[in-house]
Amino acid sequence: MLWLGLTPIDRKTLSDIAWQKLGDYLQETHLLGSIHSALYWDQNTAMPFGGAKWRGDQLGLLARSLHSRHTSQQYEDLLLSAEEEFETNVKGDKIGLKESIEKQRNLELLVLELNRQKKLDSKLVSQLAMAQTNGYALWQQARKNNDFKCFEPALKNLIFLRQEQAQQLDEPRSCWETLAQPFEPDLTIQRLQELFKPLRKRLPELISKYCHSKDLKKASWDLDEKHQQDLCNLLLKQWGRDKQVTALARSPHPFSITLGPQDFRLTTRVVPQQPLSCFLATAHEWGHSLYEQGLPSQADQWFAWPLGQATSMAVHESQSLFWENRVARSKPFADRFWKSFAEVGAPFHCGNDLWKAMNPLTPGLNRVEADELSYGLHILIRTELEIAFLQEGLEVHEIPFEWNRKYRELLGVEPQSDSEGCLQDVHWSEGAFGYFPSYLIGHLISAQLAEAMTTDFQNEGIDTEDPIGKCITTNNESKLLSWLRENVHHYGKQVNAEQLVEKVTKKPLSSSAFLKYLEKKLELMTSNP
Amino acid sequence: MLWLGLTPIDRKTLSDIAWQKLGDYLQETHLLGSIHSALYWDQNTAMPFGGAKWRGDQLGLLARSLHSRHTSQQYEDLLLSAEEEFETNVKGDKIGLKESIEKQRNLELLVLELNRQKKLDSKLVSQLAMAQTNGYALWQQARKNNDFKCFEPALKNLIFLRQEQAQQLDEPRSCWETLAQPFEPDLTIQRLQELFKPLRKRLPELISKYCHSKDLKKASWDLDEKHQQDLCNLLLKQWGRDKQVTALARSPHPFSITLGPQDFRLTTRVVPQQPLSCFLATAHEWGHSLYEQGLPSQADQWFAWPLGQATSMAVHESQSLFWENRVARSKPFADRFWKSFAEVGAPFHCGNDLWKAMNPLTPGLNRVEADELSYGLHILIRTELEIAFLQEGLEVHEIPFEWNRKYRELLGVEPQSDSEGCLQDVHWSEGAFGYFPSYLIGHLISAQLAEAMTTDFQNEGIDTEDPIGKCITTNNESKLLSWLRENVHHYGKQVNAEQLVEKVTKKPLSSSAFLKYLEKKLELMTSNP
């Protein structure tokens, strides 16, 4: 097995033999994990339909193999030895401060995860896997036939098993909090309520102030696939894509995935009658990919270690949202880019046309299609509901009623069917409770980071109210990226999401930067009719 | 682990428990092997350059895992138990004749391969792996710089290690024969000489009779990539491609690969100034894929067993060559298809134009670009040389001289550099000795099968001298495919290449059908100037 992290000279030292052995083990686990990712990528971008059954068997084999590596006695022994060795080295002053902090954090995270895995009964793990497969299948059927009842028992079962899981994990947290940990380490419901409360009040006010039409307008124009792809390629070229380490493809749902320390993939899709969907999805996925590209990688030793991974889903989302919303949906970007759209047939005569098209600002029923203003409310509703059914006794059969009530209350729209209501998202069908808030926290983080970036640039002497906009106007987005790399990406899991934000912005995370950004944008849009 | 082969009722019988366990083991091995294939596919069709190093580590991990599964004590025990159980069942008359024959053959092939693997010293296996990597790297350099000397030591080492390997395998065969077994089971040098001798005499005579120009003409026209791809798609549509189980992509070198029982992939490439290359490569790879699609598959229980695999590389090649040469390069095909080429800009005014363009019949220095007439001579030269340096004392430094001498003698052309001479092929750089003859035997098998197919169709009442041509004229290629499925594909490894040919054509394999086919085609081309 290759050990990528340490130089040959390091290998010769005898004082970190246990550490090296642990590294070799993690490296092999990570190789297997990335093979799983490569098969997932292929499944979504190239595999013919007929390959699904066999692919499922391949993925199952890898998943079992990964699980056994994550919980084996051999691994536990390696981890223990590495801890002992590390402590001896620290006591003997054989290790520098930076290295010591990084190693310490890696060990902490590895131990945390191992203990989590060990607490879980293997019977429950396999019951959950079956319940997820079953839940997903029944959800598809239920959504297709607008039949919540057919999904109900599966969802009940998933809730029961996940409650059971939280109990087995036995953390000093509530059920919902325990389940949210893998997505947002250290998040509490209390903190979540602090963050979301101002949004729950202010977003509906903004909607009623600025949004008059309730119909989601479909574009009356479209672009052919080739032109959409060309525009995406142009965008990524202008955003500095390195073709040596990135590859693009099409898939039914856009995603970004890392297959190796120098192998980053992203996909997009073309949606008929939504001529900007492909472009904005590319901007979004590129943001995710840039975060992964900037993580402490092979060169920094930690590609296969916890430290080399994204710190939370919200931070990940903040990066995709920064490039999608703060950059691509901005006025300066539209002013710079609209001609490229017009040249291939979009009915634009100035930057304002592209900008308006990219920012419809109309509340609707669908989360995925939602704009920046109403998106948060979709998340609030889901979060409240999952906390309610996991730990406050809300019955599964009550979900559709509650869902619709909340939509009416917060967004002023009401689903005509469960298919366009509480059956629209895949997450719950796979038992992924606790995931939704990350999307909205991502909006908050993105806005707060952009505020800090603005201040930093102004302090550097860029004398304008909107230095980010100025960078965009001059296609100097590389400056934005450098800032993000330096201030956000390179930490990996060294700090959690809130610590990261506080480190970078010198303020605790809150909703204020996001609300300020939104209100300013809405004002600007109203004054540019 | 899933067991795909037996129905639930079969599983309940207690008499084949050992057989089922062996099947489960093979299934898992095959899953791993097909993951290796999926990564190879991705590497060649989608992976960015930067992913190479990590991908190498992934493939290495899988290769080691596969090797240990192929040679483990657990596997040997499972195989032994299955053999014992099988014999008991045969004695107890608990097993039908067909099943008994198939199981017997599977066991034979598994035992053969296990014994082979066990005889090899693991030190040699890893030395060979290193020598192959090294050989490939130096060959690339040598070819680029036209510097055979720099490749010499690596080739010497590969020859030495492969000779050592043959010695360890200790089969009742010569060194070259032993190394050729994985490609052509049961092939002997004596048999090879019988097959090739008439070609060595007759092909040069045909060349001097029919080929007057010695310059390989590049086309003076070209087609853009999209049109080439459209033509390939049209071809595969007309040839009955099922999109549910097949996927296409581009890669630097065209290949076909099976990733699952219902997952067949093929690639092609666009070569500037060779506007037919993409199309003919597609025809060729589709032929390979059709063979794989017709092997005893999941439904026939044997996907993960030896019986479900291709019986030899020559049979594989016979299938690709049938579709490329016998169908796509035929006059009836050109008469049917030329308009589709003309419509996108090819300078064709009748079928004859496409036909001539597809059959340049000009001997050159390059094997891959060679036509049907001279191709065989390229193979003869390589085969004679590798037998000579493996077991007749030819020194490595003498290869370039011998290579050039043989080209002069047999093809009437002489390389001006080793790069366009003995350094042109990748095979030897990876120590793949014994592979080349399969290409030429494939030509012979294809021709002999086509002869038998012709007779069968005539006996069915298709009253014409060329019933295959008639099927092509009417786009009834499905009839050709049905014949191949029934007479060739479904055997898998039940019989070896020569047994297969004799079974189907009622004659031992020989070069006569191939020579007859060639002479007829050459006559026809001369009479259609």
Model confidence pLDDT, tens digit, residues B51-66: 988 998 899 899 989 9
B139 and B153 in contact (C-beta within 8 Å)? no
Most confidently modeled of A47-61, A119-133, B431-445?
A: B431-445
The pLDDT score that the predictor gives to residue A40 is 92
Chain A residue numbers touching B39 (CB-CB < 8 A): 35, 38
- Give the helix/strand (H/E) hosting B246: strand B246-250
CB nearest B46 (choices: A2, A58, A249): A249
Chain B residue numbers touching A55 (CB-CB < 8 A): 260, 263
Res. B299: pLDDT tops 70: no
Rounded to whole angstroms, the Cα distance separating A100 from A26 reads: 19
Distance from CA of B139 to the nearest CA of A (A): 24
| Interface probe with A: pick from B30, B57, B59, B224, most Cβ of A within 10 Å | B57
The pLDDT score that the predictor gives to residue A474 is 96
Average pLDDT, integer, range A43-51: 93
Q: From B47, which residue of chain A is nearest by alpha-carbon distance?
A: A247
Res. A252: pLDDT tops 90: no
Q: From B4, which residue of chain A is nearest by alpha-carbon distance?
A: A54
Sheet with B246-250: list strands edge to edge.
B246-250, B263-268, B256-260
The pLDDT score that the predictor gives to residue B7 is 42
Distance from CA of A162 to the nearest CA of B (A): 25
Distance from CA of A241 to the nearest CA of B (A): 12
Distance in Å from the first CA to the final CA of chain A: 62
**For the whole model, what pTM was predicted?**
0.92
CB nearest A58 (choices: B34, B55, B58): B34
A-side interface with B, Cβ within 8 Å?
1-2, 28, 31-32, 34-35, 38-39, 41-42, 45-51, 53-55, 57-58, 61-62, 242-247, 249, 259-265
Q: Are B54 and A262 in contact (CB < 8 Å)?
A: yes
B425 and B369 in contact (C-beta within 8 Å)? no
The pLDDT score that the predictor gives to residue B217 is 56
Distance from CA of B237 to the nearest CA of A (A): 16
**What's chain B's average pLDDT?**
93
The pLDDT score that the predictor gives to residue B526 is 86
Return the beta strands (E) in A398-488 as ranges. Answer: none
Supply the Cα-derived Rg of chain B in whole angstroms.
24
Average pLDDT, integer, range A393-402: 98
pLDDT, tens digit, 9 for 90 and up, residues A123-163: 898 899 889 888 998 999 999 999 999 999 999 999 999 99
Q: What is the DSSP string of A319-363?
A: HHHIIIIIIITSHHHHHHHHHHHHHTT---SSHHHHHHHH-----
**Count of all residues that appear for chain B in the document:** 529
pLDDT, tens digit, 9 for 90 and up, residues B104-149: 999 999 999 999 999 999 889 889 988 988 899 899 999 999 999 9
The set of residues, in sequence order, having a beta carbon less than 8 Å from that of B144 and lying 6+ positions away, is: B419
Res. A196: pLDDT tops 90: yes
Average pLDDT, integer, range B302-312: 93
* A1, HSE (Cβ side, Cα atoms, 13 Å): 17
Q: Are B244 and A49 in contact (CB < 8 Å)?
A: yes
The pLDDT score that the predictor gives to residue B527 is 85
Helix (H, G, I), strand (E, B) or coil at A243: coil
Distance from CA of A406 to the nearest CA of B (A): 43
Res. B197: pLDDT tops 60: yes
What's the CA dihedral at A124, A130, A134, A136 to 10 degrees? 90
Chain B residue numbers touching A249 (CB-CB < 8 A): 46
Selected residue with higher pLDDT from B526 and A299: B526
The pLDDT score that the predictor gives to residue A5 is 38
Distance from CA of B107 to the nearest CA of A (A): 24
What's the CA dihedral at A419, A425, A426, A428 to 10 degrees? -100
Res. B14: pLDDT tops 80: no
The pLDDT score that the predictor gives to residue B300 is 56
- Residue A526 binned pLDDT confidence (cut-offs 50, 70, 90): confident
Average pLDDT, integer, range B77-103: 94
Rounded to whole angstroms, the Cα distance separating B353 from A270 reads: 40
Distance from CA of A30 to the nearest CA of B (A): 9
Tokens (6 digits) for B202: 């007759």
Q: Nearest CA to B278 among B288, B270, B286?
A: B270
Q: Are B49 and A245 in contact (CB < 8 Å)?
A: yes
User: What one-character DSSP code corresponds to residue A475?
Assistant: T
CB nearest A263 (choices: B28, B54, B265): B54
Average pLDDT, integer, range B310-334: 97
| Interface probe with A: pick from B26, B29, B35, most Cβ of A within 10 Å | B35
Distance from CA of B423 to the nearest CA of A (A): 28
Res. B41: pLDDT tops 90: yes
- Give the helix/strand (H/E) hosting A249: strand A246-250
pLDDT, tens digit, 9 for 90 and up, residues A297-317: 755 578 899 999 999 999 999
Q: Are B61 and A31 in contact (CB < 8 Å)?
A: yes
Average pLDDT, integer, range A28-38: 96
Res. B209: pLDDT tops 50: yes
Chain B residue numbers touching A32 (CB-CB < 8 A): 61
ipTM of the complex: 0.91
Q: Is the dihedral of CA A308, A312, A317, A323 positive or negative?
A: negative
The pLDDT score that the predictor gives to residue A298 is 54
Chain A residue numbers touching B33 (CB-CB < 8 A): none
Average pLDDT, integer, range B246-266: 94
Residue with token string 């090819």: B346
Chain A residue numbers touching B35 (CB-CB < 8 A): 35, 39, 58, 61-62
Chain A residue numbers touching B247 (CB-CB < 8 A): 46-48
- Give Cα B361 distance to the centre of its chain: 22
Identify the bridge partners of residue B256 per DSSP, sorted by sequence position: B266
B-side interface with A, Cβ within 8 Å?
1-2, 28, 31-32, 34-35, 38-39, 41-42, 45-51, 53-55, 57-58, 61-62, 242-247, 249, 259-265
Q: Is the dihedral of CA B288, B294, B298, B304 positive or negative?
A: negative
The pLDDT score that the predictor gives to residue B11 is 47
- Residue A3 binned pLDDT confidence (cut-offs 50, 70, 90): very low
CB nearest A55 (choices: B41, B48, B260): B260
Q: What are residue A256's phi and psi, to 5 degrees?
A: -130, 140
CB nearest A244 (choices: B48, B54, B62): B48
B95 and B89 in contact (C-beta within 8 Å)? yes
Res. B44: pLDDT tops 60: yes
Selected residue with higher pLDDT from A527 and A41: A41
Rounded to whole angstroms, the Cα distance separating B331 from A349 reads: 55
pLDDT, tens digit, 9 for 90 and up, residues A64-103: 899 999 999 999 999 999 999 999 999 998 889 989 999 9
Query: How do strand A246-250 and strand B246-250 relate by DSSP bridges?
Result: unpaired
- Give Cα A345 distance to the centre of its chain: 33
Q: What percent of chain B has pLDDT over 70?
A: 95
Q: How many CB pairs under 8 A join A and B?
A: 122
The pLDDT score that the predictor gives to residue A13 is 60
| Interface probe with A: pick from B259, B265, B289, B297, most Cβ of A within 10 Å | B259
The pLDDT score that the predictor gives to residue A130 is 87
Q: From A46, which residue of chain B is nearest by alpha-carbon distance?
A: B247
Q: Are A46 and B265 in contact (CB < 8 Å)?
A: yes
- Give the helix/strand (H/E) hosting B471: helix B467-473
The pLDDT score that the predictor gives to residue A11 is 47
The pLDDT score that the predictor gives to residue A9 is 42
Rounded to whole angstroms, the Cα distance separating A207 from A378 reads: 13
Rounded to whole angstroms, the Cα distance separating A433 from A383 reads: 9
CA dist list (Å): B64 to A66, A483, B126, B399, B508? 17, 43, 10, 34, 40
**Count of all residues that appear for chain A in the document:** 529
The pLDDT score that the predictor gives to residue B298 is 54
Chain B residue numbers touching A59 (CB-CB < 8 A): none
| Interface probe with B: pick from A44, A263, A297, most Cβ of B within 10 Å | A263
User: What one-character DSSP code corresponds to residue B271?
Assistant: B
The pLDDT score that the predictor gives to residue B220 is 85
Q: From B62, which residue of chain A is nearest by alpha-carbon distance?
A: A32
A41 and A336 in contact (C-beta within 8 Å)? no
Res. A212: pLDDT tops 60: yes
B47 and A263 in contact (C-beta within 8 Å)? yes
Rounded to whole angstroms, the Cα distance separating A335 from B238 reads: 48
Helix (H, G, I), strand (E, B) or coil at B304: coil
- Residue B6 binned pLDDT confidence (cut-offs 50, 70, 90): very low
| Interface probe with A: pick from B31, B230, B242, most Cβ of A within 10 Å | B31
Average pLDDT, integer, range A314-336: 97
Distance from CA of A265 to the nearest CA of B (A): 8
Other Cβ atoms closer than 10 A to A370: 21
Chain A residue numbers touching B25 (CB-CB < 8 A): none
Rounded to whole angstroms, the Cα distance separating B191 from B186 reads: 10
Selected residue with higher pLDDT from B215 and B449: B449
CA dist list (Å): A394 to A400, A417, A421? 11, 20, 17
pLDDT, tens digit, 9 for 90 and up, residues B220-231: 899 999 999 999
Q: Is the dihedral of CA A145, A150, A155, A158 positive or negative?
A: negative
pLDDT, tens digit, 9 for 90 and up, residues A451-504: 999 999 999 998 899 999 999 999 999 999 999 999 999 999 999 999 999 999
Rounded to whole angstroms, the Cα distance separating A365 from A414 reads: 7
Residue with token string 């002999």: B448
Q: Are B263 and A48 in contact (CB < 8 Å)?
A: yes
Chain A residue numbers touching B246 (CB-CB < 8 A): 48
| Interface probe with A: pick from B263, B264, B265, B298, most Cβ of A within 10 Å | B263
Identify the bridge partners of residue A250 per DSSP, sorted by sequence position: A268
A451 and A505 in contact (C-beta within 8 Å)? yes
Distance from CA of A45 to the nearest CA of B (A): 10
Q: Are B249 and A46 in contact (CB < 8 Å)?
A: yes
CA dist list (Å): A344 to A228, A239, A339, B388? 9, 20, 9, 63
**What's chain A's average pLDDT?**
93
The set of residues, in sequence order, having a beta carbon less than 8 Å from that of B31 and lying 6+ positions away, is: A54, A57, A58, A61, B304
